[in-house]
């Protein structure tokens, strides 16, 4: 009859998910599913709202990633209204994007993923968490808490508030940056750059060498990648063109407003999360031996698709990474390494923006008028390429919304990495807590934000519901 293992909740991620592992009679893995069991539904209930409200409404999608939604939404709203904000307005948005990135990447590396590496994948559940990190490395943990707080203070200075901001407005930014504020921010940015440098050397000396063998073998899948680059091919996180790379390393660049020509969305009855895939590949398949159309986003994807990074410290790390792991690097656990390269880039980019004389310009906003149009906005969220796509009527009222969120792109790859790791680790019915946590680590590497990503709602139940008895037998199933 086989047996089903369930890991619920998957911990140290944003949002709620469970992992189902199906064993066959011999106790080997026959199938796995990562079920996403929450629903946000913003695609539906934003319909009927004035488009100028969207940058404020959509920050509420998520308390972790509000800046990514805020900026993508402001860009989509600009596009709907046919306005190009003044350079300083765009730079202030990008500044907030870069500061928010640092807060996110620090959180993930040290507190969400870090416990697995600092304390070990099979450390006791009771200490494999932020409290365990505090005990094992108190000075580092204190510095991390202080730095995240500082990043939040920086966002407050630029935008009035760090979470659920309202500063990016249609046509630009709502307030200019004052020279005194710029000077204060500049000092804080130096401190964050120091933490970014420390994090990279700490990881390269103390963490990565210990796990390199695991990184090279565990949860490795073969996929394409999607990310944003500038015209010259260098990494960009706020604006640029999209680059879709196939597993063999060849790629095609396109404008983000043309995303529907390149991306299709597959659905499965057991998840609220859709499965985007490369339209040009034809059929969607996340079969481990024969995947088709699958691509990944988030840190590793961006480091794979870009040709270079236009800040010196991040560029040096990028060169070392590419030399070591090639292009595209497929190892799932390399997401962590790529994340630290991006942390450095964002620290350097924040300083570059603060040193730009234009950042204190008072010309930050253009006037807008409602009209009937469609507009697409796109940024690289810490968790992957984020697309907001709106349509309005002649009064500027929203008639259609499509969101493709960073984590959504990674749905199929997350499922594939989990399956690959579970098949490698669980043999002859033997498993323990450490093995199940190592399977969870495949999800954590992708740093998913599930609260951001579940907007599927087509007027039906949505997901399949199983009623299961204490022995694990399915008594009844409800679905559409
Ligand atoms: Mg969508
Ligand atoms: Ni989120």
User: What does the DSSP assignment read for 283-319?
Assistant: S-B--SSS-BS-EE-SHHHHHHH-SB-SSHHHHHHHH
| CA 407 to ligand 1 center in whole angstroms | 11
At 56, which CATH number?
Answer: 1.10.645.10
* Parent domain of 148: 3-468
- Is residue 478 a part of any domain in this protein? no
| CA 43 to ligand 1 center in whole angstroms | 7
| CA 394 to ligand 1 center in whole angstroms | 23
Averaged pLDDT for residues 352-381: 97
> Tokens 């495949």 label which residue?
442
- Is residue 480 a part of any domain in this protein? no
pLDDT digits (tens, 9 = 90+) for 261-313: 999 999 888 777 889 999 999 999 999 999 999 999 999 999 999 999 999 99
- Is residue 139 a part of any domain in this protein? yes
- Is residue 476 a part of any domain in this protein? no
| CA 58 to ligand 1 center in whole angstroms | 13
Q: Which residues surround ligand 2, an ion (CB under 5 A)?
A: 62, 64-65, 449, 452
- Please state, for a pLDDT cut of 70, what percent of the chain lies above it: 93
| CA 72 to ligand 1 center in whole angstroms | 14
| CA 261 to ligand 1 center in whole angstroms | 15
Could you list the beta-strand ranges (E) of 143-223: 168-169, 172-173
Distance CA 402, CA 405 (A): 10
- Please state, for a pLDDT cut of 90, what percent of the chain lies above it: 62
- Is residue 477 a part of any domain in this protein? no
Cα angle value 178/379/187 (rounded, 5°): 35
* Highest-confidence segment of 111-115, 241-245, 280-284, 459-463: 241-245
| CA 165 to ligand 2 center in whole angstroms | 14
32: part of which helix (H) or strand (E)?
strand 29-36
Distance CA 72, CA 375 (A): 11
Instruction: Evaluate whether 317 touches 204 at the Cβ level (below 8 Å).
Output: no
- Residues near 410 by beta carbon (within 8 Å), at least 6 away in sequence: 296, 297, 298, 383, 384, 446, 448
- Is residue 479 a part of any domain in this protein? no
| CA 319 to ligand 2 center in whole angstroms | 30
- Give the number of the ligand closest to the Cα of residue 403: 1
pLDDT digits (tens, 9 = 90+) for 198-244: 999 999 998 888 887 877 788 889 999 999 999 999 999 999 999 99
Q: What is the model's pLDDT at position 472?
A: 67
What percent of the chain is helix, strand and coil (3-state, nearest 5)? 45, 20, 35
- Of 12 and 378, the one with more pLDDT: 378
Q: Is the pLDDT of residue 460 over 70?
A: no
Tell me the chain's radius of gyration from C-alpha atoms: 22
Q: What is the model's pLDDT at position 461?
A: 41
CA distances from 429 to 2, 28, 30, 441 (A): 9, 6, 11, 20
- Is residue 415 a part of any domain in this protein? yes
Averaged pLDDT for residues 417-446: 88
Count of structural domains, the chain: 1
| CA 77 to ligand 1 center in whole angstroms | 17
Distance CA 145, CA 151 (A): 10
Q: Binning pLDDT at 50, 70 and 90, where does residue 1 land?
A: low
Instruction: Evaluate whether 264 touches 284 at the Cβ level (below 8 Å).
Output: yes
Token pair for 403: 């969101």
What is the model's pTM?
Answer: 0.91
Q: What is the model's pLDDT at position 462?
A: 44
Burial of 337 (0-12, 13-18, 19+ CB in 10 A): buried
- Give the number of the ligand closest to the Cα of residue 450: 2
- Give the number of the ligand closest to the Cα of residue 108: 2
| CA 127 to ligand 2 center in whole angstroms | 26
| CA 207 to ligand 2 center in whole angstroms | 27
Could you list the beta-strand ranges (E) of 211-303: 224-229, 241-245, 251-254, 263-266, 275-278, 295-296
| CA 450 to ligand 2 center in whole angstroms | 7
Q: Is the pLDDT of residue 463 over 50?
A: no
- Give the number of the ligand closest to the Cα of residue 67: 2
């Amino acid at each position: 009859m086989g047996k089903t293992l369930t890991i619920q909740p998957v911990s140290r991620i944003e949002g709620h998910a469970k992992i189902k592992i199906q064993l066959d009679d011999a106790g080997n893995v026959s199938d796995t599913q990562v079920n996403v069991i929450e629903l946000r539904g913003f695609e539906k209930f934003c319909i009927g709202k004035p488009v100028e409200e969207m940058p404020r409404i959509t920050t509420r999608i998520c308390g972790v990633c509000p800046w990514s939604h805020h900026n993508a939404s402001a860009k989509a709203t600009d596009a709907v209204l046919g306005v190009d904000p003044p350079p300083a307005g765009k730079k202030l948005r990008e500044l907030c994007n870069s500061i928010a990135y640092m807060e996110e990447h620090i959180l993930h590396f040290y507190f969400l993923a870090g416990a697995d590496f600092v304390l070990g994948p099979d450390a006791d559940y009771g200490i494999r968490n932020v409290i365990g990190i505090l005990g094992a490395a108190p000075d580092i943990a204190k510095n991390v808490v202080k730095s995240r707080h500082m990043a939040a203070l920086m966002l407050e200075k630029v935008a009035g508030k760090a979470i659920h901001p309202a500063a990016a407005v249609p046509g630009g930014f709502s307030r200019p940056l004052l020279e005194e504020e710029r000077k204060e921010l500049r000092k804080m940015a130096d401190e964050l750059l120091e933490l970014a440098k420390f994090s990279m050397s700490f990881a390269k000396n103390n963490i990565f060498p210990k796990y390199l063998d695991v990184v090279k073998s565990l949860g490795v899948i073969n996929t394409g990648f999607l990310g944003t680059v500038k015209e010259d091919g260098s990494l960009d996180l706020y604006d640029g063109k999209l680059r879709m790379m196939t597993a063999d390393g060849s790629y095609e660049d396109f404008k983000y407003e043309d995303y529907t020509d390149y991306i299709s969305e597959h659905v499965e009855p057991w998840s609220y999360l859709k499965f985007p895939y490369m339209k040009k590949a034809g059929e969607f398949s996340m079969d481990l031996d024969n995947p088709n159309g699958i691509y990944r986003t988030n840190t590793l994807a961006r480091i794979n698709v870009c040709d270079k990074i236009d800040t010196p410290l991040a560029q040096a790390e990028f060169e070392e990474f590419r030399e070591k792991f090639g292009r595209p690097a497929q190892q799932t656990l390399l997401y962590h390494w790529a994340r630290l390269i991006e942390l450095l880039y964002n620290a350097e980019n924040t300083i570059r923006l603060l040193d730009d004389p234009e950042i204190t310009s008072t010309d930050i906003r253009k006037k807008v008028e409602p009209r009937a149009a469609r507009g697409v906005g796109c940024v690289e969220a810490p968790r992957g390429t984020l697309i907001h796509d709106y349509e309005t009527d002649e009064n500027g009222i929203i008639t259609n919304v499509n969101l493709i969120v960073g984590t959504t792109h990674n749905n199929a790859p997350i499922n594939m990495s989990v399956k690959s790791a579970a098949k490698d680790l669980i043999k002859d019915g033997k498993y323990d807590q450490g093995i199940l946590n190592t399977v969870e680590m495949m999800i954590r590497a992708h740093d998913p934000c599930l609260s951001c990503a579940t907007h599927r709602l087509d007027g039906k139940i949505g997901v399949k519901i199983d009623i299961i008895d204490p022995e694990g037998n399915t008594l009844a199933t409800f679905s559409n």
